[in-house]
Structure 1
Amino acid sequence: MKSFKVSGQRSIGYGQPAYIIAEIGINHNGSLDIAKKLIDEAAAAGCDAVKFQKRTPEICTPKDQWHIERDTPWGRMTYINYRKLIEFGFDEYKAIDEYCKEKKIDWFVSCWDEEAVDFMEQFNPGVYKFASASLTDHDLIAKVKSLNKPYILSTGMSTMNEIKDAVEKFGTENLIIAHSTSAYPCPPEQLNLKMIHTLQDMYPDVPVGYSGHETGLATTVAAVAMGACLVERHFTLDRAMWGSDQAASVEPQGMQRLVKDIRDVEQAMGDGIKRVYDSELAPMKRLRKVITPKAEKSAQ
């Protein structure tokens, strides 16, 4: 299985610690101050990266929804104006780029359209992510593929044939696959974590990760124990904040616990070679009636 260098400090793939991504997405609600607070909390928790979403509103918003009005924390407005309000531009991403470098945490985005890819190339991200909704957008994948950078392909809301079609068309070079179920929040019985093994068996040379939308933490830790090379969870300062992704997000205290549990599990996995540890010698002398010669030698 391959691994890909995605920053000066971290790689994603075989033989590497799980790459932990705090998905800020649009949970910043258009506020650079909130985005910076989320970056602070992700870095403090020990996450490897924060991820945002980048859209060109006029391209990604269906025209029949442009003028539908909705209530927002900023008043009643049309949907297209709302999409523009929460979208960061050059100045905000330049500030995010500088801030993440200061905090020594990676950042990148999910681009939802080709213009967004051109926009993000100004910041030379080390990796790109495709949201599950984009798995069948082959033009968008081709745009990123042409950049010769690692890219993460999420597989939520997709059939096996759709996954196979994308991989067959674009090959496995620079590819990282993330198993996902696109329900917000996702009930445990629909997480289907064994798909991690299915994808590993299907594409043995491709790093396989997990993008989760559940409310708990244990299943994300389980994904790492099953071999996920990366994990991604939506991240928020407060699940009660306004926004469609907040309820399925992890708060700072939960992210700290998630990162700690993942790192503990990685240490606990060991190497599969049975040995008698020094910490076992005293209990062995005290509790065993018969100590084998080999064990006696180890205990000396």
Structure 2
Amino acid sequence: MVSFSRQISDIASIYATDTIFILGKGPSAGEIPPSIFDGSLVIGVNDAERIQPTDISIFHADWVKAALEASGPKAQLYLTSTDYRPTEGKVIRVPHESLGQESGDLMMQRLLSGPLVIEDVLFISALKVCLEVAKVRERAQKVYMIGFDFTPEAGYAEMAGGHFETGDIQDRRLVIGMQENFLLNALYMLQGSQIDVIHVGNRNYSAASVADIVERDFPTARAQASSQSKVAVVAELTTNHFGDRDRLERMVRTAKAAGADYVKVQKRDVATFYSTAQLSAPYRSPFGQTFGDYRRKLELTADDFDFLDTLCRKLKIDWFASILDEASFNFIRDFNPALIKLPSTISEHTDYLAKVARVADRGIVLSTGMTDKNFESWILETFKDVPTLYLMQANSAYPTPARDCNIAVVRHYHTLSTTNQHIVPAYSSHDEGSIGSMLAVAAGARMVEKHVKLGNSEWAHFDAVALDMTSSDFCNYVNKIREAEIMIGSEVKTVAPSEHHKYRKAP
């Protein structure tokens, strides 16, 4: 059986930030824009996952079990003393310690040095998990406690389904008052520890209000939540999952946590796409001694695509694939991806491209690496009837030198889009870092694509240009795209609220 520490480590490794949210059910939880939680570990108590999907849920009461069975599981991991068996997600059975008249001190002792148990005061167990995350990450964590309002009269944040908890308001007031006292005790005891606990609310001990974290601590998330013209960010996995479902899942989860809108994979029919000589050529990889051994192992099967589709639906992130040949196009249509990608690799395969254009019933993402103005004219005519054409400036050097990025082409595609409503300007970033993509957004790109990987593999294609998902690189990239959106702002010239010049007359 995989240990508690290992499972916590696996979940924590998905996220690049050192921010953790503990989610309660107070009404203030409903005032937080969901985008604030993106990219951070979220721990829910009782059935709080019905307000905002959590990574870890902690409970012991049978009414919570009934609520989760009715609404369906939304967490990756459940810590519970019950016999709850979710259809999705893993469970660790943890003993429940009831809180008696003399056992409060023991509960606080367990927080700092004792074993993990499910405490009656559930946020104490959640704080214990946060300490474990700090331990496996080997660095301090900032922990925001949201939805712990300690106002029983105010009710609960809006959530999916009904509420199954019983008890009158007087009983709840006594219980909540007792819990608030334990929070004060925990805040004191955790000073100087590896977790900096920030209670979000309007109590005298609250380190931040809801407005503080929305406006001050997470301004990018606020702007993203209010944006009406969000740039779509694609995490380009290529075949860096290496045909391994566990690796694929981790990459998808990390992309979602970083704030990506899509993940993209590839599909090709290896037997027909490459020649016999190419497949039999020597190639060193963990999968064999030939290039054919390598390419066949990287391809996702039908079951793998079913797995990918189910995972993306669960995580609420879209997926699509670069489809390099007709056999793969026929294969992939059964899985109903959000879009179809036609990569630069096959720009010369005009018969295939034209066939896709004739039957396309969804958006087409088309990269233009290794092509010129003549190809553009052919594409504009051939794909004039597709529902949406994401026309993607790309250079097929990995990495692309700065002098060859030609971001101005994105501006040209933006101009085309003003008279061709089905065209969406886009940019495929094979250059290093984020500046090219930020400039593309300023030039009018509504989609940007970035290669990603999971660690370094010398034998894998294009790893030199990919951002490593075991670090914060891709999360930082997405944040830079959102920052570019904020800075671009509106084309309408107005006096900004920040312009408080002393010589300007008051209106």
1:212-256 deviation line (CA, Å, top 9, x unaligned): 111211111111111101000111122446411211111231211
Which residue pairs with 1:79 in the alignment? 291
Which structure 2 residues correspond to residues 115-126 of structure 1 after superposition, within 5 A?
A: 115-126=327-338
Which residue pairs with 1:168 in the alignment? 381
Q: Is the 8 A contact 1:128 1:144 kept in 2?
A: no
Q: Is the 8 A contact 1:239 1:250 kept in 2?
A: no
**Structure 1 residues 70 and 273: alpha-carbon distance in aligned structure 2, compared to 1, 3 A threshold:** closer
Which structure 2 residues correspond to residues 141-180 of structure 1 after superposition, within 5 A?
A: 141-145=353-357, 146-171=359-384, 173-174=386-387, 175-180=389-394
1:133-178 deviation line (CA, Å, top 9, x unaligned): 2223223223332032110111001121122123223325332210
**Structure 1 residues 147 and 169: alpha-carbon distance in aligned structure 2, compared to 1, 3 A threshold:** closer
2:227 matches 1:17: no
Q: Is the 8 A contact 1:56 1:116 kept in 2?
A: yes
**Structure 1 residues 266 and 60: alpha-carbon distance in aligned structure 2, compared to 1, 3 A threshold:** same
The amino acid that maps onto 1:193 is I
**Structure 1 residues 141 and 116: alpha-carbon distance in aligned structure 2, compared to 1, 3 A threshold:** same
1:34-54 deviation line (CA, Å, top 9, x unaligned): 111110110000000000000
The amino acid that maps onto 2:234 is I
Classify the secondary structure of the residue corresponding to 2:382.
helix
Q: Is the 8 A contact 2:433 2:477 kept in 1?
A: no
Q: For 2:277, which of 45, 53, 64 is the aligned residue? A: 64
Q: For 2:479, which of 251, 260, 263 is the aligned residue? A: 260
Farther-moved stretch of structure 1 (149-158 vs 168-177): 168-177
Superposed displacement of residue 84, structure 1: 1.0
2:260 matches 1:43: no
Q: For 1:94, which of 264, 286, 306 is the aligned residue? A: 306
2:473 matches 1:296: no
The amino acid that maps onto 1:97 is D
Superposed displacement of residue 260, structure 1: 1.2
Q: Is the 8 A contact 2:234 2:264 kept in 1?
A: yes
Which structure 2 residues correspond to residues 99-114 of structure 1 after superposition, within 5 A?
A: 99-114=311-326
Q: For 1:189, which of 384, 398, 403 is the aligned residue? A: 403
CA distance in 1, matches of 2:288, 2:301: 22
Which residue pairs with 2:122 in the alignment? none
Classify the secondary structure of the residue corresponding to 2:498.
helix
Gap runs ≥5 in structure 1: 1-14
Classify the secondary structure of the residue corresponding to 1:223.
helix
Q: Is the 8 A contact 1:108 1:127 kept in 2?
A: yes
Relative to the length of structure 1, the TM-score reads 0.85
Farther-moved stretch of structure 1 (150-159 vs 256-265): 256-265
Which residue pairs with 2:352 in the alignment? 140
Larger Rg: 2
CA distance in 2, matches of 1:208, 1:177: 5
Which residue pairs with 2:246 in the alignment? 33
Classify the secondary structure of the residue corresponding to 2:506.
helix
Aligned residues: 273
**Structure 1 residues 192 and 91: alpha-carbon distance in aligned structure 2, compared to 1, 3 A threshold:** same
2:448 matches 1:231: yes
**Structure 1 residues 200 and 20: alpha-carbon distance in aligned structure 2, compared to 1, 3 A threshold:** same
CA distance in 2, matches of 1:34, 1:143: 34
The amino acid that maps onto 2:355 is K
CA distance in 2, matches of 1:102, 1:67: 40
CA distance in 2, matches of 1:42, 1:239: 17
CA distance in 1, matches of 2:506, 2:415: 43
CA distance in 2, matches of 1:43, 1:82: 28
Q: For 1:273, which of 492, 496, 505 is the aligned residue? A: 492
Moved over 6 A (4+): none
Q: Is the 8 A contact 1:182 1:213 kept in 2?
A: yes
CA distance in 1, matches of 2:458, 2:254: 16
Farther-moved stretch of structure 1 (59-68 vs 264-273): 264-273
Q: Is the 8 A contact 2:362 2:386 kept in 1?
A: no
Classify the secondary structure of the residue corresponding to 1:21.
strand
Superposed displacement of residue 211, structure 1: 0.5
Q: Percent identity?
A: 31
